[in-house]
Each structure stands twice: as structure tokens, then as C-alpha cells.
Structure 1
Amino acid sequence: MPLARYALYTQNIDIYVAPTWDCGDTWQATMQHVAREGGYWVIDCATALEASDIPTDIPYFDKLFPNKDEWINPGDVVIYKPFGGICAGPMRREKGFLTAEINVEEARASRRKFDASGHYACPDVFSLSVDRQMKPPVAFFD
């Protein structure tokens, strides 16, 4: 969702939190790219879930989860520095709290190298309008 990210970049955020179900190398590469492109800290808090975490009284539990030791989602919680380096993690196939001390000034300094919504945005050529008014999730027209 590059336009949604761009709308965030223009607000000069310093920390981006991504609660998600996504995991794996491809997703981590995406989060690393977002940290680099946006020049902010990225906290990717994925869900670590094992079959043993699922209540056994759900219908078809044994068919759905024949291996009780199976990881349904490995988690891959990670914290990326502004401009894309790993600060902490990833936590793969483990449960717990990933912590790190971060300095928001690093985010602001990284945007001096590459500012996706500043000097690099070419506002003389491109523009993005964001309407913040509440809208219904569905509009029906005849």
C-alpha cells in the first residue's frame, strides 16, 4: 500500500508499528524496505502461534492440527532501525517480549539522507489528497 505509506511519511512519523499475521523472509524484507524508505523505526509484531495454543474442543481439531507441535505461525517479531538495519530480533518460533532502546533522533537524521515525502517527492509534479472524513465501509448506488 505505497500511497497509504506515503501519507504516513508526510506526517514525519518516527515509529511505525505493524501488527500482522505475515511472517517469513519476504515479509521481513518488506518491513526492512519500509524502514529504509520511510526513514523510521519499524516494530513488526507478528503472531507466534502453535497448534498447542488452539483449544482442543473446536470442531475437527484433530483433523486440522494432527501435529500438536506444529507452528501455525512462527512469529518473526523484529525491530528495524531507520534506513533498514536490524535493531532486535527476529524472534522466530519463540514466544516472549522483544525489547530494544530506540532513539527517535535516528529516524529524523535518516530522513536527511532520503526523504520520500520531502525533497524527493517532486510536489511540483505529483500530489496526493487524503480525505480524513468518516465514510461508511460500503456505498451502494443504483
Structure 2
Amino acid sequence: MSHSRVVRVAAAQLSPDLQSAAGSLDKVIGAIEDASRKGAELIVFPETFVPYYPYFSFVCPPVKSGKEHLRLYENAVKVPGPEVKRVGLCAKRCEMVVVLGINERDHGSIYNTQLIFDATGDLVLKRRKITPTFHERMIWGQGDASGLKVAETVVGKVGALACWEHYNPLARYALMTQHEEIHCSQFPGSMVGPIFSDQIDVTIRHHALESGCFVVNSTGWLSEQQIESITEDISLQSALKDGCLTAIISPEGKHLVEPISAGEGVLVTDLDMTLITKRKRMMDSVGHYARPELLSLLINEEKYENNHQIATHNHQSAGLKFTKETPDES
């Protein structure tokens, strides 16, 4: 793509429908259509927004979470499936790139999955969170590196990671080596408290600086009524408040528009793609600032389904120089 162009993007902070996938999906379609009327060419939604993030697993002990866990299975999305088709058709109709987080059901397992739809409506990337965090390990299976890809879209090279995957520097570097231009990050929001918002801010701004890309970040939000429906324990309700920061960051680590930290809303702003070169002129982490003769990254791109390898070995170096060592058989 030409770096002289301007791309208008949107980041949605919404509350999910905690009762059904259909309700959350209706909000996704509505937000896409609204952002389209404002001229947006890309929109990002919160982590596992359809049907909803499993907030219950953060505040309920495992022995009491069986009913809600099963309900999540019932509402989880299959890929391909009707929900995916509906989003694809909407993306095509609105000529917009859509980055959506879902709970993906694959037979007896659920995964934290990110979907990237091009403006043609085609699903150009499906990836699963490689390591669920803390309480999430009771809910989701582990993803693999086959999805650590940057998607070629009409707005440029788009990459995505979910929540604390941003604390895995090698996962971020894998996307950086593919020269992502717009990084789409997703967090659950409405968790932990204000410190979570602060951490999100530091994390996404650092990635923008280090990668020399734009970051479009989306978090979810829960109303007081929703929080009370998840847990009646007042002492636990505070754990489901604050922690929201929907934001759009430049390659220079600056907020391009005032972020949203509470309530529902959609940010819309323009990205001047020339800022990517402006940043990388001084510090290109995977180019003139890299030292591949000292440091390199090995990516195992094997794809696994239900813990079974379904692809041949495909080890790829993300550095500029790589030597594969083999054991001495003598």
C-alpha cells in the first residue's frame, strides 16, 4: 500500500449481551454500520465480544461455574458458521475491515479467537490466543503460532493480539517482522480496576513505539446491572469495574484521540500512514536497529487441532539470519 494515504479507523467500546450471541452480534453489526457512515475503513471490537468475555470465571470458583461454563459452550461461535457469515456480509456491504473477538467452539473445546475480515467480506485470518491467562485457562484451550500472521487487507498490513499476549515480546516480534502497519489489540475491560487501564495504556503505546505502527485498541465494558448479574457478592463486584481503555495510538506513541475509559462509545480518527516511515527512519526494530547475527526468533508454524499436529514441520526464522542446528549423530 502507499504510505502517503490516510486511513480512517474506529475502535468500539461496547457492553456485550450476556444472555446470547445474537444480542452481542446485533451490536457488532450496528457498530459496523454506524462507523461506516462516518467513513471508517477499519473497526476493532473487544476481546471475545461474541458472545461475551467469560467474566464469571474471574470471580466464581470453578466448583460453582459449571452452569455458566456450559452456557458459554451453547453460545460459542463455530468457524465457519452463521455468525461469521453475517459479519462477513456486513463487512462487504460496508466495505470495511473488521477485527472481531469471539469464543470459538471446536467440538469439545473453546478458544479465544480473533477474526480479521477484509473489506471484501472474506475472512483473511483466524487466530487463537496462544496462552490463556490465569482464570482463562479453565475456559479456553491453547492456540498455536500458525495464526501469528499479518493479514494483507485493503487498508494495509493488519496484525492482532489479545490482551496479555502483548506481554509475550516474541509474539509481538513475530508480527513486527512481517511489517504490520495497523496493530489491532483487544482486551476484556471492566476488570481488576484502574490499574488495568494504566497497564493497557503503557502496553499499547510501547508496542506502537517499538513496532513503528499504529495501534487500534478495544476494550469491553459492563454496566452496574451486568456486574450484579455476574456475582451478587458485593466484595467481588469491584473486581469487575474499571479497567477500560479504548484508544488509538500513533507510531510515535501518542493518543490520536481522547480514549474511552468508561461507558459505551466508538472512537473514529484518521491515520496518516507517513508517520510509520517517520518513526522507522530513526528506529526500525526489525531492520537497521536489529542485530540478527546476535539475536533471532524461531517460529513453529505447525497447526494443531484438538492437540493433534495437522501440518508438517515448518520452522521459520523471523530474524534476518538463522542457522538451524541439528544434533550430532556421530
Relative to the length of structure 2, the TM-score reads: 0.37
Alignment of 1:25 onto 2:195: no
Q: Is the 8 A contact 1:51 1:65 kept in 2?
A: no
Amino acid at match of 2:175: L
Amino acid at match of 2:185: A
Question: Against the structure 1 CA distance between its residues 37 and 93, is the aligned structure 2 distance closer, same or farther, given a 3 Å change threshold?
Answer: same
Secondary structure of the structure 2 residue equivalent to 1:110: helix
Deviations 1:46-66 (A, max 9, x none): 11222223584x6xx433589
Greater fraction helix: 2
Q: Is the 8 A contact 2:204 2:217 kept in 1?
A: yes
Distance 1:123 1:79 in 2: 31
Distance 1:18 1:78 in 2: 10
Distance 1:65 1:95 in 2: 25
Give, in angstroms, the shift of residue 75 of structure 1.
Answer: 2.0
Aligned position for 2:282: 113
Q: Is the 8 A contact 2:209 2:251 kept in 1?
A: yes
Q: Is the 8 A contact 1:79 1:88 kept in 2?
A: yes
Alignment of 1:53 onto 2:222: no
Amino acid at match of 2:232: D
Distance 1:71 1:14 in 2: 33
Distance 1:114 1:137 in 2: 41
Q: Give the alignment partner of residue 85 of structure 1, picking from 244, 248, 254.
A: 254
Amino acid at match of 2:265: G
Moved more, 74-83 or 30-39: 74-83
Alignment of 1:131 onto 2:291: no
Distance 2:236 2:207 in 1: 37
Aligned length: 134
Q: Is the 8 A contact 2:242 2:261 kept in 1?
A: no
Distance 1:14 1:49 in 2: 31
Secondary structure of the structure 1 residue equivalent to 2:200: helix
Distance 1:89 1:95 in 2: 14
Amino acid at match of 1:121: A
Deviations 1:47-94 (A, max 9, x none): 1222223584x6xx4335897xx9624521111100201111211112
Question: Against the structure 1 CA distance between its residues 50 and 74, is the aligned structure 2 distance closer, same or farther, given a 3 Å change threshold?
Answer: farther
Alignment of 1:40 onto 2:213: yes
Moved more, 74-83 or 5-14: 74-83
Moved more, 115-124 or 126-135: 126-135
Q: Is the 8 A contact 1:71 1:93 kept in 2?
A: no
Deviations 1:15-67 (A, max 9, x none): 001111254112211111111111110111011222223584x6xx4335897
Moved more, 4-13 or 74-83: 74-83
Aligned position for 1:62: 232
Q: Give the alignment partner of residue 9 of structure 1, picking from 176, 184, 190.
A: 176
Secondary structure of the structure 1 residue equivalent to 2:271: coil
**Runs of 4+ residues over 6 Å off in structure 1:** none
Distance 1:16 1:77 in 2: 14
Amino acid at match of 1:45: S
Moved more, 77-86 or 104-113: 104-113
Question: Against the structure 1 CA distance between its residues 96 and 78, is the aligned structure 2 distance closer, same or farther, given a 3 Å change threshold?
Answer: same
